[in-house]
Structure 1
Amino acid sequence: MPSSTSTFETVADVLRTQFETGDAPLEPATPLNALGLDSMSLMEFVFAVEDRFGLRIPEERLDPRQADLTLADLCKAIDEALAAARPAAA
């Protein structure tokens, strides 16, 4: 099973290095709409995270415009997409 902690650390790194999110500490429960990103930047953030993990998350699974979506929700969607992309264990 993928490590959500590791996933969260990677997502937080993308925020810190590629987007100006302010000095507020990043926590898994932080809503995406509280990051200070406009709607275009929010989409760019999700694309940057997908690029970092080498995957695409279907929009029906994760719509960053959802008001209550948190960083933990994003990490869960990434972990699930990574698990689905792995070949079945023999």
Structure 2
Amino acid sequence: MSSPTFETISTILENDFQVARADIQPDRPLVELGLDSLALMEFVFAVEDAFHLRIPEDKLDPREAGITLRRMCEVIEQAPPQAMAT
């Protein structure tokens, strides 16, 4: 998967959370990236800030089993314009 959204998320993981680039795969569950629950929430906040939007918890709870980077990209790319923070 190579999209601007995935690349931005990958850069956040690599630079801010010290996740090895080799571990950043689209279908890898977020819980397998070696981040504890607090770091997972901080990661979601960092992604929201990078894309200037807020992701409702019902769309994406990073602690939920099976949420992947691909799913995170889909949620961001499908966010309605009103989800954009002002």
Larger C-alpha radius of gyration, 1 or 2? 1
Count how many residue pairs are aligned between Structure 1 and Structure 2.
81
Distance (Å, rounded) in 1 between the aligned partners of 2:52 and 2:12: 13
Q: CA deviation at 1:23?
A: 5.5
Q: CA deviation at 1:15?
A: 0.4
| Alignment gaps of 5+ in structure 1 | none
Q: Does 1:37 align with 2:35?
A: yes
Q: CA deviation at 1:41?
A: 0.2
Q: CA deviation at 1:21?
A: 1.6
Partner of 2:81: 85
Q: 1:16 aligns with which of 14, 17, 37?
A: 14
Partner of 1:63: 61
Distance (Å, rounded) in 1 between the aligned partners of 2:48 and 2:6: 13
| Alignment gaps of 5+ in structure 2 | none
Q: Does 1:25 align with 2:23?
A: yes
* CA shift in 2, pair 1:23/1:55, >3 Å: closer
Distance (Å, rounded) in 1 between the aligned partners of 2:23 and 2:45: 22
TM-score by length of 2: 0.87
Matches within 5 A, 1:1-12: 5-12=3-10
* CA shift in 2, pair 1:30/1:7, >3 Å: same
Q: 1:46 aligns with which of 39, 44, 47?
A: 44
TM-score by length of 1: 0.83
